[in-house]
Amino acid sequence: LVPNPGGSSGNLCVTGAVGRYVGSGQIQQSTSAGTFELSIDLNMTPQPTGFVSIAAGETWNFQGWHRDTGPAGPTSNFTNGLSLDFQ
């Protein structure tokens, strides 16, 4: 748990080698319900040292970082963490 990274209003729940989906079409805008979708290529999962494949039997953790507004004005925040077991 990393509280308020980069001056955000939230907590980063994932640590270690954190990859980011920042390629063309990967930065999303949420719907009016506050949801978003991102189709990912399991053979091109971003990591700090390049892309890796996700293999069956692995567990990966994900978290969204989003813009937010608060009492002090614009900031950023994080979604709840999501842990996925791949089969």
Residues with Cβ within 8 Å of 85's Cβ and at least 6 positions away in sequence, in order, are: 58, 59
Look up the pTM and report it.
0.82
Q: What percent of the chain has pLDDT over 90?
A: 63
User: Tens digits of per-residue pLDDT, 26-64?
Assistant: 999 889 898 999 999 999 999 999 999 999 999 999 999
- Contact criterion met (CB below 8 Å) for 39 and 64: no
Mean pLDDT of 2-23: 90
Instruction: Give strand pairing partners of 12.
Output: 2
* Distance (Å, whole) CA 11 – CA 78: 6
Whole-angstrom distance, CA of residue 68 vs CA of residue 10: 10
